[in-house]
C-alpha cells in the first residue's frame, strides 16, 4: 500500500536541521488535520498516522455504514451500496476505513499544506532559538564572524544561528574579519516586532563578560570559593573588580591574578589589554575606598555618609595616580564604592590653594600650559617642587621659573 511520502512530496523539509524528527512529524500531523477540517468540516473521524522511521504518513477516514438513502452526513456516513464496493462482506452498522491519498487533495490544497507546514516549522524554529538563548543570557559563547558592518558584526554559532554584536557592545579596539573566532557574552534576547524573529544580542563590554572570564580562568571563582562582589569597567581601558573569600586560607586577589599574573594575563589579552585592578573587598568603607584608589597611596580621608561623598587627602605626587589616565582610576573607584570622591593635596601649611589659570594676567598662557602639561595645575603644586625639578620637567629657563615662583609665593604672603 502506497502512503504519502513527506520527504518526496515536500523536499524543502530536508533543510530544517534544528528540528528533531518527532517534533517535525507532530507538526505535520497538526497541519494535515487542519486541512482535513477545512476540506471535510471535521477531523474527528479521521486517523492521521505518522511513521517517524520511514518519514511518511497515512490518513484514514472512518465512516459508519447506513441504509441507502439514509446518509445524513457524507463525511461520517456511507451508503451500504457504496460500502460493499470497497468490501463485499460489509453490513449496515459496521465501520468502513478508507485511506486518503495525496491525489485526493487538489493542487491549491497541497500548496496551502506546504505553506502552512513551512510557516509552522519556521515558527517552531524561531521559538526554539528564542527559548535556547533566553536560557543562555549571561553565558559566554564562541562564534564565527560571518559579516562585518559599520554598526554591528553578524556572528554564527555552531548551529549557524545568527547572533548580533552591535558596535556599542564592542571594545573600542576590537577588530575582526570574516572567519575570525569571537567570544562574547549573551546580553539580551528579544523578538523583533517587524520580522517576528528572535534577536540575540552579544556584548564584550558588559561587566558580566569580565565576570565569566574570571570564572573560566580562576577555578576558585567558578567553584564559589571566591565571590565577585562588584565589577566596573571602561571597556578596553581599565576595570576594577572587588573579590572576597570566606575561606581565610585563600588569598582572593592572589588567586585571581595567579603566579606571575598567569591567570589574569589571558583575560587582559581577551579584553584588548584592558588594565584590571583586582581589589580585596571589605565592608569597612574607609579601607574599601583606600583599596579602590590603588595604586595611589592616600594619607587620610573623611566620609560623609549622608551625601555619599568622601574627601581624600594625599601627597602631591600621588594625585596623578589617583586620577589615572583619562581620569579612569578615580571614576571607576567612585562607581565601585558608591561614593563621590573629592581629591585634596596634603600640605603642612595652610591648605588654601589657587588654580594656576588665575595668574594668567601675570604669567603668559603658554607658560601656564607647560606647567599644566606636567600635572601642575595649581599654585601649591608648582611651589611643592624644587627649581631643579621644575627646570628638568618643563625645559623652561631657570630665570623664567624663578619669576613664576616669585609671583606664586606673593599670593600666599
**Which range (21-30, 121-130, 275-284) has the least confidence?**
21-30
Tell me the pLDDT tens digit for each residue of 316-325. 888 888 988 8
Enter the DSSP assignment of 302: E
11 against 260, higher pLDDT:
260
Direct distance between the N- and C-terminal alpha carbons of the chain, in angstroms, rounded to an integer:
113
Grid coordinates belonging to 122: 519556521
Tell me the pLDDT tens digit for each residue of 184-239. 999 999 999 898 899 999 999 999 999 999 999 999 999 999 999 999 999 999 99
Residues of the chain with pLDDT > 70: what percent?
93
Report the distance separating Cα 378 and Cα 221, nearest Å: 45
Nearest in space to 313 (alpha carbons), one of 288, 290, 283, 338? 290
Strand-strand pairing, 300-304 and 275-280? unpaired
User: Average model confidence (pLDDT) for the chain?
Assistant: 87
Q: Is the per-residue pLDDT at 346 higher than 80?
A: no
- What is the Rg, in whole angstroms, of the alpha carbon atoms belonging to the chain? 38
Tell me the pLDDT tens digit for each residue of 359-399. 888 888 999 888 888 888 888 888 888 888 888 888 888 89
**Are 256 and 231 contacting, i.e. CB atoms less than 8 angstroms apart?**
no
Report the distance separating Cα 161 and Cα 123, nearest Å: 15
Tell me the pLDDT tens digit for each residue of 85-112. 888 888 888 888 888 877 777 788 878 8
Grid coordinates belonging to 155: 556572528
Whether the predicted model's global pTM rises above the 0.75 cut: no
Nearest in space to 129 (alpha carbons), one of 26, 198, 185? 198
Q: What pLDDT is recorded for position 350?
A: 46
Q: What pLDDT is recorded for position 233?
A: 96
Tell me the pLDDT tens digit for each residue of 133-171. 999 999 999 999 999 999 999 999 998 999 999 999 999
Report the distance separating Cα 226 and Cα 91, nearest Å: 80
Tell me the pLDDT tens digit for each residue of 254-284. 999 999 999 999 999 999 999 999 999 999 9
Report the distance separating Cα 275 and Cα 254, nearest Å: 16
Enter the DSSP assignment of 18: S
72, with CB counted inside 10 A (0-12, 13-18, 19+), is: exposed
Q: What pLDDT is recorded for position 347?
A: 59
Q: Which long-range contacts (CB under 8 A, 24 or more apart) does 325-331 make?
A: 325/237, 325/238, 326/234, 326/237, 328/234, 328/237, 328/238, 329/238, 329/293, 329/296, 330/293, 331/234
Q: Is the per-residue pLDDT at 54 higher than 90?
A: no
- H or E element in which residue 222 lies: helix 219-222
Q: What pLDDT is recorded for position 2?
A: 47
Amino acid at each position: 500500500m502506497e502512503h504519502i511520502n513527506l520527504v518526496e512530496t515536500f523536499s524543502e523539509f530536508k533543510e530544517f536541521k534544528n528540528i528533531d524528527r518527532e517534533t517535525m512529524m507532530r507538526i505535520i500531523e497538526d497541519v494535515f488535520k487542519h486541512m482535513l477540517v477545512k476540506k471535510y468540516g471535521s477531523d474527528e473521524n479521521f486517523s492521521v498516522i505518522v511513521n517517524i522511521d520511514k518519514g511518511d504518513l497515512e490518513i484514514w477516514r472512518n465512516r459508519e455504514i447506513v441504509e441507502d438513502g439514509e446518509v445524513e452526513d457524507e463525511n461520517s456516513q456511507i451508503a451500504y451500496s457504496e460500502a460493499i464496493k470497497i468490501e463485499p462482506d460489509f453490513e449496515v452498522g459496521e465501520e468502513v476505513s478508507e485511506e486518503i491519498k495525496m491525489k485526493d487533495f487538489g493542487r491549491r490544497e497541497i500548496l496551502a499544506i506546504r505553506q502552512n507546514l513551512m510557516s509552522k516549522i519556521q515558527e517552531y524554529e524561531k521559538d526554539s532559538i528564542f527559548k535556547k538563548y533566553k536560557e543562555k543570557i549571561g553565558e559566554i559563547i564562541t562564534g564565527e564572524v560571518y559579516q562585518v558592518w559599520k554598526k554591528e558584526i553578524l556572528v554564527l554559532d555552531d548551529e549557524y544561528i545568527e547572533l548580533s554584536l552591535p558596535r556599542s557592545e564592542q571594545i573600542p579596539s576590537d577588530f575582526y574579519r570574516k572567519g575570525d573566532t569571537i567570544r562574547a557574552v549573551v546580553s539580551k534576547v528579544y523578538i523583533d516586532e517587524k520580522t517576528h524573529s528572535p534577536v540575540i544580542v552579544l556584548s564584550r563590554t558588559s561587566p558580566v563578560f569580565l565576570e565569566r572570564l574570571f570564572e573560566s580562568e580562576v577555578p576558585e571563582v567558578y567553584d564559589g570559593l571566591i565571590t565577585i562582589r562588584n565589577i566596573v569597567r571602561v571597556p578596553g581601558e581599565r576595570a576594577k573588580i572587588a573579590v572576597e573569600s570566606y575561606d581565610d586560607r585563600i588569598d582572593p586577589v592572589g588567586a585571581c591574578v595567579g603566579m606571575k599574573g598567569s591567570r589574569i594575563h589571558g583575560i587582559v589579552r581577551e579584553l584588548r589589554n584592558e588594565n584590571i585592578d583586582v581589589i580585596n573587598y571589605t565592608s569597612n568603607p574607609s579601607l574599601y575606598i583606600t583599596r579602590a584608589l590603588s595604586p595611589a597611596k592616600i594619607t587620610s580621608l573623611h566620609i560623609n555618609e549622608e551625601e555619599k561623598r568622601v574627601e581624600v587627602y594625599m601627597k602631591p605626587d600621588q594625585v596623578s595616580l589617583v586620577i589615572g589616565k583619562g581620569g579612569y582610576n578615580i571614576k571607576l573607584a567612585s562607581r565601585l564604592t558608591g561614593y563621590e570622591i573629592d581629591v585634596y593635596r596634603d600640605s603642612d601649611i595652610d591648605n588654601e590653594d589657587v588654580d594656576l589659570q588665575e595668574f594668567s594676567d601675570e604669567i603668559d598662557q603658554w607658560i601656564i600650559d607647560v606647567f599644566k602639561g606636567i600635572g601642575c595645575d595649581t599654585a601649591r603644586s608648582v611651589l611643592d617642587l624644587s627649581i631643579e625639578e621644575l627646570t628638568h620637567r618643563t625645559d623652561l629657563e631657570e630665570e623664567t621659573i624663578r619669576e613664576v615662583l616669585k609671583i606664586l609665593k606673593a599670593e600666599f604672603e
